[in-house]
Amino acid sequence: QVQLVQSGAEVKKPGTSVKVSCKASGYTFTSRAIHWVRQASRQRLEWMGWINSDNGDTKYSWKFQGRVTFMRDTSASTAYMELNSLRSEDTAVYYCVRGGDKYDSWGQGTLVTVSS
């Protein structure tokens, strides 16, 4: 079955960076894009952007442009999200999501806590 398994929780200091991984299985990794969505406590889901798993093209939400980078390793069927210049408002659960005509498979989420 399709699975997206994310890396574990992180605690980071303001101004630093975090890198979250998302390992896909159960389907051909390059056939579907990977999107990244975050959810802060008591906040609505927030889309960050996506990466074309085949050719590596990326599209970032204007809100995160310049501060986020998506990457992928096709040999490992893994996508990565790196967020820089962290601030307290970036404390959230980060999800990777399989995209396409439908967003049908979500990772379990990675809690990133930004605290001094």
* Contact residues for other proteins, defined by CB under 8 A: 35, 44-47, 49, 59, 61-63, 95, 101-104, 106-109
Q: For other proteins, which is the closer residue by CB, 63 or 74?
A: 63
Q: For other proteins, which is the closer residue by CB, 8 or 75?
A: 8
In the bound complex, what is the minimum distance in angstroms from residue 30's beta carbon to other proteins? 21
Contacts 24+ apart (CB under 8 A), 51-58: 51/79, 53/29, 53/79, 54/30
- The encoded tokens of residue 96 equal 């990777």
Q: For other proteins, which is the closer residue by CB, 27 or 103?
A: 103
